[in-house]
Amino acid sequence: MIPVAFAPFEVRMSKTQLTLDLEKTLYAYWEEQGATAVEEVSMPDDQGIVDTLVLQNDNGAHTWRCFELKVTKSDFHSSAKLSFVGNYNYFVLPAKLYAQLKPEIPAHIGVLTYRAFDAADLDAALVPITTPGALTIAKSARYQELQVPESALLDRFTASLNREVVKAKQVEKGLAQYSSEQLLKEMRKRSANYDVYHPDRNVYDQFAAELESTTITALQDEVDALTGELALLKLGLAHDEAAR
């Protein structure tokens, strides 16, 4: 049985768009600092899961930062364990939420606040904007010694990076990685939602229409090629007759 801490794929609740926006902005923020970030890193000894773990390497000296992303009060007050095991530990919160929760933030925990960019500002930008918003250090974190051995952090950090690489490779390979039997099984599953009155909404009809179109195009190309060859043959025969 694979230990939970090293399971390559764990069941997760779907993330809200706001959470994804915070995550994307946080990644970009630390990438600009020359650090490496990875999400959902399982900790040893029942220390929970770090939402985002960042490793900063300064001439061989490692600094570890843990981030817990919260987008609602109920999320902040949930029973999920806060895995603040790094040298510096932070909440990442929408600016409005931080204003409501400020008295509840522990003294040693930092806060990054998130503000989404205005659509009009994005349209008016003279340079490409690659993140949905910006982060501000609203409260600095205090240094602490690591709460788990660094060797364990490195092991789990590497395992999580590898998980993301595997996911990226799966996306790159697309459907090519699945057997015909698996694809057929998946299509059969979707037959329960077949819409008789709106064929354009059904994956089967879309596939059949595209296949038919592709087949007709391929056959037409073959007919055109044969017609061309026949024309050249007739032209050659006519030339031979004229030469006699």
pLDDT tens figures, 26-68? 999 999 999 999 999 999 888 899 999 999 998 888 999 999 9
What is the Cα–Cα distance from 184 to 180, expressed in whole angstroms? 6
What is the Cα–Cα distance from 139 to 224, expressed in whole angstroms? 71
Q: What integer pLDDT is reported at residue 1 of this predicted model?
A: 37
Instruction: Decide: 153 and 91 in contact? Cβ < 8 Å.
Output: no
Predicted confidence (pLDDT) per residue in 139-198, tens digit: 999 999 999 999 999 999 999 999 988 888 876 666 666 677 777 777 776 666 666 666
Tokens of 52: 């985002």
pLDDT, mean over the chain = 82
Considering only residues 124 and 221, tell me which one the structure prediction assigns the higher pLDDT. 124
Q: What integer pLDDT is reported at residue 193 of this predicted model?
A: 67
Local structure of 159: helix, strand or coil: helix
Q: What integer pLDDT is reported at residue 244 of this predicted model?
A: 66
Provide mean pLDDT across the span 208-215: 67
User: CA 63, 64, 70, 73 torsion: positive or negative?
Assistant: negative
The residue whose two tokens read 């006699």 is 244
DSSP state of 81: -
Q: What integer pLDDT is reported at residue 217 of this predicted model?
A: 74
Considering only residues 241 and 90, tell me which one the structure prediction assigns the higher pLDDT. 90
The residue whose two tokens read 């040893």 is 44
How far does the chain reach from its first CA to its final CA, in angstroms?
Answer: 86
Q: Where are the domains of the chain?
A: 17-166, 197-243
Predicted confidence (pLDDT) per residue in 95-112, tens digit: 999 999 999 999 999 999
Provide mean pLDDT across the span 115-138: 87
What is the Cα–Cα distance from 121 to 117, expressed in whole angstroms? 7
Orientation of helix 203-243 relative to helix 180-189, angle to 10°: 130
Task: Give the count of beta carbons closer than 10 Å to the beta carbon of residue 49.
Answer: 20
What is the Cα–Cα distance from 105 to 98, expressed in whole angstroms? 9
Kindly indicate the confidence band of residue 208, based on its pLDDT and cuts at 50, 70 and 90. low
Q: What integer pLDDT is reported at residue 56 of this predicted model?
A: 94
Considering only residues 16 and 187, tell me which one the structure prediction assigns the higher pLDDT. 16
Q: What integer pLDDT is reported at residue 202 of this predicted model?
A: 66
What is the Cα–Cα distance from 148 to 88, expressed in whole angstroms? 13
Kindly indicate the confidence band of residue 9, based on its pLDDT and cuts at 50, 70 and 90. very low
Local structure of 126: helix, strand or coil: coil
Instruction: Decide: 61 and 27 in contact? Cβ < 8 Å.
Output: no
What is the Cα–Cα distance from 182 to 180, expressed in whole angstroms? 5
Please give the single-letter amino acid code of residue 161. L
Tokens of 204: 């089967």
